[in-house]
Amino acid sequence: MKKVKVLVVDDSILFRKVLIDRLSQYDHIEVVGYATDAFDAQDKIPKLDPHVVTLDVEMPKLNGIEFLKKMMPKRPLPVVLVSSLNISVFEALSAGAVDFVRKPSMQAQNAVDLFISELVRKISIASVARVKTSNTVKAQTIITSDALKSTAKSNSIVIAIGASTGGTEATLTVLKNLPANTPGILVTQHMPPGFTKMYAERLNKLCAMEVKEAQNGDKVIPGRVLIAPGDAHMRLTRTGNEYFVRCAPGEKVSGHCPSVDVLFDSVASVARGNSVGIIMTGMGKDGAAGLLNMKKQGAYTIGQSKESCVVYGMPMVAKNIGAVATEAPCEEIASILKQHLNKL
């Protein structure tokens, strides 16, 4: 396997040493150097030519967000953020970072081990990711359609979205182009606990629909988006003519908790043909089998196209097994969804 060349950017001497020592133990990773701040990184990137950069978000002189805004248009590189529980991680993802890993408590060895394992996994994914810059996103044409017709059937329709790497921005692209009267939407995005609540709060400020982190028993209604908590599977349930969600911790399914397959399978079972399934960018196959299940039950299914994915994994597997009825760039999915709903 070709080694992934990594540049570590962090102002903490202790944390930098831990990263370098632990990452160097992996045969497929070569730490080609380190930078103590963003300006140091700007100087070293052309010389060291890394495949992936690990980047601390909070740094002196120039923070990670401003660094990304300056670097990405000139030299797009896969960046994995190393961040504390902070809303700024989403600004950094918007500026072009591929993914993030939460900083561990350095006093807990088990926490450090889990962090390194997750970081290594995300470095591997980032090394094959399609990098997008904030300039690229701004240049994309958002295709819109007529406003969504309000019909009595809106209450019986459920829309389910699943995403992983690159999904925070791709899902935002879809949701911000949907009107407030869109049928209820359930989103499973692979993300750690804590960040899902902040992500929902960020989307709530940017979208016409209400967006919140799901709580057990929340009602699924038009105009509301529920985001699966970062440490629980979210399932659709039904009582009479009303839909609700059940959120509960559980073993990983398809390698994840929350799992897209868990969400899609529950929608297939409960809403059947009164549903739409959308599978977005991400590594692996989580959601593919569930989407096929939805399609078999009469749901309309959409897959994000290769060209618009940061990682064309989950949508590719779904397409290959026949689960995708329509494939489209994420910038066009809202329009396609509205056109479908207006025909019902």
Written as tens digits, the pLDDT of the chain (344 aa) is 689 999 999 999 999 999 999 999 999 999 999 999 999 999 999 999 999 999 998 888 888 899 999 989 888 999 999 988 778 899 999 999 999 999 887 776 788 999 999 999 999 999 999 997 654 444 344 444 457 876 657 789 999 999 999 999 999 999 999 999 999 999 999 999 999 999 999 999 999 999 999 999 999 999 999 999 999 999 999 999 999 999 999 999 999 999 999 999 999 999 999 999 999 999 999 999 999 999 999 999 999 999 999 999 999 999 999 999 999 999 999 999 999 999 98
Place of tokens 């701004």: 138
Cβ(269)–Cβ(300) below 8 Å: no
Cβ(301)–Cβ(295) below 8 Å: yes
Q: Which residues pair with 301 in a beta bridge?
A: 277
In this predicted structure, what is the pLDDT of residue 113?
93
In this predicted structure, what is the pLDDT of residue 132?
74
Q: Which of these is catalytic: 51, 190, 233, 256?
A: 190
Among 149, 150, 152, 211, CA closest to 185: 211
In this predicted structure, what is the pLDDT of residue 143?
44
Residue-range domains of the chain with CATH: 4-137 (3.40.50.2300), 152-343 (3.40.50.180)
Q: Which of these is catalytic: 286, 305, 308, 335?
A: 286
- Alpha-carbon separation of residue 287 from 55, 184, 268, 300 (angstroms): 29, 19, 12, 15
In this predicted structure, what is the pLDDT of residue 134?
52
If one counts every other C-beta atom within 10 angstroms of the C-beta of residue 62, the result is: 16
Please give the Cα distance from 57 to 78 (Å, whole number): 15
Place of tokens 């889990």: 114
Per-position DSSP letters for 201-229, written without gaps between them = HHHHHHSSSEEEE--TT-EE-TTEEEEPP
Q: Which of these is catalytic: 83, 94, 164, 305?
A: 164
Q: Which two tokens stand for residue 120?
A: 């290594």
Please give the Cα distance from 239 to 23 (Å, whole number): 50
Query: What does residue 5 show for φ and ψ, rounded to 5 degrees?
Result: -85, 125
Residue 51 a catalytic site member: no
DSSP state of 232: S
Q: Which helix (H) or strand (E) holds 172?
A: helix 167-175
Residue type at 129 in one-letter notation: A
Q: In what order do the strands lie in the sheet with 79-83?
A: 29-35, 4-9, 52-56, 79-83, 99-102
In this predicted structure, what is the pLDDT of residue 60?
82
Is this structure's pTM higher than 0.75?
yes
Residue 286 a catalytic site member: yes
Residue 190 a catalytic site member: yes
- Per-residue three-class SS string for 51-88: CEEEEECCCCCCCHHHHHHHHCCCCCCCEEEEECCCCH
